[in-house]
Amino acid sequence: MIFDQVNVTVEGGLEGVVLPRMLKVKQRFNSNMIGDIELEIIKEIRSKVDMAALQGKRIAITAGSRGIKHIDKITLCVIEELKKAGAQPFIVPAMGSHGGATAEGQENFLKNYDITEESMGVEIISSMETIQIDTLEDGVPVYCDKNAYESDGIVLINKIKPHADFKGDYESGLVKMMAIGLGKHKGATYLHKKGFDTFAELLPRVGASFVKNAPVIFGLALVENAYDNPMMIEVIKSEDILDREKELLRVAKDNIAKIKIEDIDVLIIDEIGKNISGEGMDPNVTGRPGSYLNEDFEAPGIQKIVVLDVTEQSHGNGAGIGMCDISTIGCIQKIDLGVMYTNSVTATILGPAKLPVMMNNDREAIAIALITCNRIDFNNPRIVRIKNTLELDEIEVSEVLIDYVNRNEGLEIVSEPYEMPFNGKFRLAKL
């Protein structure tokens, strides 16, 4: 997209807006994690799966679009265990409408995580073709990826985590991967038309139908700590998925990373992306879901949010940009409207795809955010800067927050104050 220079007239000029000095702060979270990921996966599979029954079977392994640490290593370990059992595994993308809702786009998405035919040693069969495997009692159709359904068995791999648009016993996890991910564009579109306010009740019914009607063997459930390291890895047999996932979601919610600063005037987010959150930036961190069902999203009070970039791994999908107040022309130019709109139209939630106020550079965007705040101390604004909503162990805060940080045992100052590091084009150096 091409935009011209933006000229905004403000009292005193934007160059006259004084920005505060910043300092680096460490946020402390529960750091329990699994040391040897492969060993844990092998132990789980061999203790809970009938390996002899896999001999000669074609097994579909799901690969999603969410960012999961070590997902290439995890997927490869599962593949190798299945091969040792004599199975013939292959990979199917299970990401609904992501990747532009095309087979090529979804396979390309997996390359972001180094999941390729070469690295995994198995075929990737990416297709948007589905089969209707059931109709629920109220007429809701249940769709499944054709290649996965026609296999001898399906193995689900996904992270259990709070969802970005709704709350319930099942949010992002194995159940949603079946209902939405394996439903591909057709299934995802139909279910999203029901509205996120129905998902808490709808997803478990669709998930139960999958367990009954599709050849799901087991799910590998991952729970990450606030540093995005796996703290739990469990193999869950298909018949136990609905019971166990509810319990794991509670663990995940207790360990999600948060911003531990209250009452923020301006939050600066260096980057958003689909590899970071389904909303581009996680409303469990910002308190701003695209669905507007925000009564259950706990977050600091934030007056203005500035977004500076979209990750390369998003391939132009800037969904989530609509949840910020101000961005830059350079950031918006990286967005592929067709890809972003396809995702948002499928989800029936258009807010995340709306374009915010755009300024010429990072400094102007931050200045506009400050002068449009209400009832703040403009000489000592409360600014917080994060890399993204997935990586919150180290953040930046403005100098006025030093006393606040020192009073909070979950926070630690790790630098002296410094001026915001703009380059000659008024772009901020990356965190």
Q: Kindly tell me if the per-residue pLDDT of 95 is higher than 70.
A: yes
Is the per-residue pLDDT at 294 higher than 70?
A: no
End-to-end CA gap in the chain: 26
Tokens representing residue 58 in the block: 């074609």
| 149, pLDDT greater than 60 | yes
pLDDT score of 296: 66
* Distance in angstroms (rounded) separating the CA atoms of residues 75 and 117: 12
Contact, 405 vs 341, CB < 8 A? no
pLDDT grade, residue 115 (50/70/90)?
very high
Whole-number percent of the chain with pLDDT over 90: 81
Q: Which residues of 350-366 are buried (b: 16+ CB within 10 A; e: fewer)?
A: ebbbebbbbbbbbbbbb
> Mean per-residue pLDDT for 371-400?
96
* Predicted confidence band of residue 167 (pLDDT cuts 50, 70, 90): confident
Residues sharing a CB contact under 8 Å with residue 259, sequence separation 6 or more, in sequence order: 27, 267, 285, 299, 300, 384, 386, 392, 395
Kindly report the average pLDDT of the chain as a whole number.
93
For residue 4, pLDDT beyond 90 = no
**In Å, how far are 26, 121, 178, 265, 369 from 65, measured between CA atoms?**
29, 20, 13, 32, 32
Q: Which residue has the tokens 């980057």?
A: 271
pLDDT in tens, 303-345: 999 999 999 988 899 999 999 999 999 999 999 999 999 888 8
Question: Residue 99 in contact with residue 105, Cβ under 8 Å?
Answer: yes
Segment 278-302 shows an average pLDDT of 81
**Residue 358 pairs with which residues in a beta bridge?**
327
pTM of the model: 0.80
> For 37-254, which CATH class?
alpha beta
Query: What is the spatial distance between Cα 58 and Cα 151, in angstroms, rounded to a whole number?
Result: 6
Q: What pLDDT shows up at residue 297? A: 74
224 has a pLDDT exceeding 90: yes
Separation of CA 363 from chain center = 27
Q: What is the mean pLDDT of residues 246-252?
A: 96
Region 184-202 average pLDDT? 92
Sheet holding 264-269, edge to edge: 357-359, 326-328, 302-307, 264-269, 383-386, 394-398, 22-27, 411-413
Q: Give the Cα separation of 364 and 17 in Å (integer).
A: 9
- The structure tokens 């390996």 sit at 51
DSSP state of 53: G
Least confident of 108-117, 287-296, 401-410: 287-296
- Statement: residue 86 has pLDDT above 80: yes
Whether 170 has a pLDDT exceeding 70, the answer reads yes
Mean pLDDT of 236-263: 95
pLDDT tens per residue, range 351-378: 999 999 999 999 999 999 999 999 999 9
- Can you tell me which residue has the tokens 């060993």? 39
- Amino acid (1-letter code) at residue 16: G
Q: Give residues with Cβ within 8 angstroms of 94, minimum separation 6.
A: 62, 63, 64, 145, 148, 156, 177, 181, 182
Residue 12 clears pLDDT 60, i.e. is over it: yes
Which residue intervals of the chain bear CATH 3.40.50.11440? 37-254
Output the pLDDT for position 405: 97
Identify the pLDDT of residue 295. Answer: 57
Rounded Cα distance, 62 and 91, in Å: 6
Q: Which residues contact 154 (CB under 8 A, 6 or more apart)?
A: 59, 60, 61, 62, 148, 182, 214, 215, 216, 217
